[in-house]
Amino acid sequence: MEIYLVEVFDYDLVIVGSGLAGLRAAIEAARIGKGKLRIAIIAKNQLMRPHSISAEGGSAAVLYMDEGDSFDLHAYDTIKGSDYLCDQDVVEFFVRQCPIDILELEHWGIPWARRNDGRIAQRPFGGHSYPRATFAADRTGFYEIHTLYDTLLKYDNVDKFHEQFVYDFLIENNRFRGVVAFDIPTGQIRIFKARAGIVATGGLGRLYGYTTYSHLVTGDGLAIALRRGMKLKDIEFVQFHPTGLVPSGILITEGVRGDGGILRNAKGERFMEKYAPTKKDLAPRDIVSRSMMTEILEGRGFKGPGGLDYLLLDFSPIGAEKIKEKLSQVREIGAHYVGIDPLDSPLPVRPSAHYTMGGIDVTHTGFTGVTGLWAAGETACLSIHGSNRLGANSTSECVVFGKVAGEDSAKWLLTNSNSVDLSEGDKKYAENFLADAYRDKGDYDPYEIKRELWTTMDKDAYVFRNENGLTEGLKIIRGLIEKSGKISISEKGNVYNQNLIASLEMKNLVELAEVVVKGALERKESRGSHFRTDYPTRDDDNYLKHTIARRADGALNISYVPVTLTKWKPEPRVY
C-alpha cells in the first residue's frame, strides 16, 4: 500500500466523536463562538451512527418537584448507587443541570413520551426512588442523536468529517496541537491542526466478548490519552447490565423492568425479592447482576450456548398494549435475534458488559490538564457514577457535560489568541505511524489476540473477581500486549482496510485491559461493580478513594486520590 499525507486541516476546535457528548459540545461551542470559531467534528463511523443511538431506556432529570421529586433526592440516589465513590459536589451540579438540558432537547424537537395530562412522561429505573427516567419509547438515544444532529445543522461554521480513524493526538510541552487520523474510505492521512480539542470517543466496552456495546467502542481516546501520559481514573469499574440478550449480549433496556417486567430463574421464581426486598428487580445494576449470577452459579439458571447460562426476563406483567407502545424496539430485537416475541415468551438474559464508569481524569468542566484539551461523555471521568452508575444517568451526563466542555473550550479559545504551528516532523510522524502499523513484524493474528482478550476478560474480570483470576488475567494480558507488537496485517489496500482498523483497535484494547485488571487487582475490597469474592465487603478506611492509572517510562503506575464528600456520609447500601 502507498502511504501519503493528503491534507492538513486548520481549525480552532476539533471534536473527536459524534455521540451525545460530542454533538452537544459542538452545538455549544458554535453557539458561544457566534461564528468566530472554526469547528470540526470527526466520527469513526457516520456522524449519525454513534453508539449513543443504542441507548434505549431514558435520561434522568428532576422534572416534578411538585409531585415529590427533588435535586437532593436525585443526588442521594446517585451517590448511594455509586457506593459512595462519586464526587458529591459534581453530582450536585449535575442533578440541577439535568432538567435544563432535558427541556432544551424538548424545545429542539425531541418526541419525549407524554403523560395523559400532556406533560413529559417518566418511567422508574433501578436505584432511583422516583420515576425520573425521561424517555422516547425505547429509542431514547436514537431520538436524542437525531435531535442534536438536526440542531447542529443550524451552524454553518461546523465541518463534519465521517469515517475518520483518529490514531493519535499531537501534544508538545503539555499543549494540544491537533489530532492525526486516516480517512477510512481512502486510507489517506490527515492532520487536523487545532488550538483546542474535545475527546468524546466513548468507553472501552469491547474489552469483553459478551457486551451490549457496538463494535465501534474500542476505547480509542482512552488508549491515546494513556500513551500520551494523561491520567485515567477508576477504570477498574466496569458496569454489567443485568439484561443482555443471550447469546449476542445486545441490550434489553432496564425500561422493561421499569414498566413492570420481572426476572425469573429456571424454577419460575421471582428471585430478586430475596436479594433486594424493597427495590426487587429495580435495585441498582451491580446488585441485580450479582444476584443473577448467584442464581446461575447455584444451579438455578438455564443452560445456554457457549457457557452463557441465562435467566428469563418476563414481560407478561406489563401488558400487551403497553409493550407495543413503549417497548416496540425490544420486541423487534427479540424476534430478530432469538426468534422470540416478548408478547408470547420471556427473553433469555444474563449480565453483559455495558458501561465504563471511569475515564480520563478531568475537572468539572472536562479539562484534562493538557492545555487546550477537554474530554466529555463516557470518555471522561468526572466521578459522577463512582463505582456503579444508575440507569438513565449516562445519557444525561453526556448532554450536560458535553455542553459544559463545549462552552468552556469555546470561551477559552475566544480569550486566547495562541496559534498552532506544525513542522515537517509532525507530518513525517503521522506518515511513519501508519506505515509502521502496516509493516509485518510477526506472525500473530490481531483477530486471534482480540478473541483471547475477550475470553480472558469474560472469565477473570466479569461480575465476580478474585486474586487468582485477576493475577492470571493480568499475566495473559501482558502477553497479549507483547504479541500486539508482532502482528501481520493480511490486507494491504488503502480502501476500507478493516484489518488495519481492527489491529489498531486491538492494540488500544489490550493496553486498556491492563489498566482495568491491574486496578481491580490492587483494590482489595468490593465496591459497586467491582466485587472481589476474596474481599467481599466495602472498605471505606482504605479504599474510599479514586484509582489513578498513569503510564510513565513504560510502566503502568497506580495511585489514589480522595473522594469529595459534601453532605452524604457513607452508609450501608440497603435496597
Residues contacting 65, CB < 8 A, separation 6+? none
115 an active-site residue?
Answer: no
SS3 456: helix
Which residues pair with residue 345 across a beta bridge? none
CA dist., res. 58 & res. 391, Å (int): 8
CA dist., res. 449 & res. 463, Å (int): 23
Among the listed residues 181, 220, 204, the one whose alpha carbon sits nearest the alpha carbon of residue 40: 181
Catalytic one among 139, 206, 257, 385?
257
Residue 214 neighbours by CB distance under 10 Å:
18
The values of phi and psi at residue 288, to 5°, are: -65, -40
CA dist., res. 306 & res. 289, Å (int): 19
Task: Kindly state the DSSP code that residue 564 receives in the 8-state scheme.
Answer: P
Q: Is the dihedral of CA 294, 299, 300, 303 positive or negative?
A: positive
257 an active-site residue?
Answer: yes
- DSSP E strands, 421-564: 464-465, 531-532, 545-552, 555-562
CA dist., res. 262 & res. 277, Å (int): 14
Residue 104 neighbours by CB distance under 10 Å:
16
CA dist., res. 207 & res. 215, Å (int): 10
Catalytic one among 24, 190, 241, 264?
241
CA dist., res. 45 & res. 53, Å (int): 12
SS3 500: helix
Q: Is the dihedral of CA 156, 42, 148, 357 positive or negative?
A: negative
Q: Is the dihedral of CA 15, 18, 22, 23 positive or negative?
A: positive
CA dist., res. 189 & res. 176, Å (int): 19
C-alpha cell at 408: 468552556
Kindly list the catalytic residues.
241, 257
